[in-house]
Structure 1
Amino acid sequence: MAKTEKSPKGTKTKKIKDKLLLFIVPAVVVTIVILVAISSFLSKSRLEEMARNELESSITNQADNIYAWLQQNLENFSTIKASLEGMDLDETYYEEVLTTFVGSNSNAPNGVYIATQSGKVYTGRGTDLSITNPTDQQWYKEGLSRINMAYGEPYKNDEGEYVISASGILNDGSDEIKVVAADVTLGKISIIVNSGVKMKNANSFLVDRNDMMVLAHRDSSLVSTTLTGSLGRPVMDGTYNAIISSDYSTTNLGQYTVAFKEIKGTDWLLVSYIENSVILANVTQLITILLIIGVVATILIVILVSAIIGRVIKPLSYITENIHAMSSGDFTIEVKNTSNDEIGVMGQQVGKFVGLMRDMLSSINDESEKLKEESDNSDQVSRVMFDASQSQESAMVNLNQTVDQLAIAVNEIAENATTLAMVVSDTKANSDTASERMAETVEISKSGRADMEKLSVAMGEIQAANQELVASVEKVGQASEEITNIVGMISEIAEETNLLSLNASIEAARAGEAGKGFAVVASEIGGLAKHSAESAQSISDLINQVRDQIEKVVSQADASAKSIEANGELIDAAVTTFDKIFENIESTSDVIKEMIADINKVDEVSTNVAAISEEQAASADEILETSKNMVEQAQAITQSSQDVADNSHQLANTSQTLTGYVQQFKIVKEDTDYDE
Structure 2
Amino acid sequence: MNIIKKAGFRIGHRLIALIIFASLGLLIVGGVSLSSLRSDLFQQKQTELKHIIEAAISLSDGYYKRAQDGQMSEEEAKKAALTAINGIRYGDGDYLWVNDKDSVMIMHPIKPALEGKDLSKLEDKNGKLIFPAFVNTVNNSETGGGFVDYLWPKPGSENPVEKLSYVQKYTNWGWIIGTGVYMDDFDAALLERTQLLIGIMLAILAVTIVISVAVTRSITSPLGKMTQAMMDLAHGKTDAEVPQPKFNDEIKDMASAMEVFHANAVERERLQTEQEEQQRRANDEKQAMLAELASNFEQSVGALTQQVANSAVQSSAGAQEMAAIAGETSSEASAIVEVCHVASKSVNAVTNASQLLTNSIEEIDTRVRESSTVATEAVSQIKKTNEEVEGLSEAARKIGDVVGLISDIAEQTNLLALNATIEAARAGEAGKGFAVVASEVKSLATQTAKATEEISEQITSMQSATGTAVGAIKGIQDIITKIDEISGTISEAVERQNQATQDIAQNVQEASYSTGQVTDTVDRVRSTAENANAAAQAVEGMITQMTDNADQLGKEVEAFLSKVRVA
Richer in helix (by share): 2
Global fold match (TM > 0.5): no
- Give the structure-1-normalised TM-score: 0.32
State which structure, 1 or 2, has the greater radius of gyration over its C-alpha atoms.
2
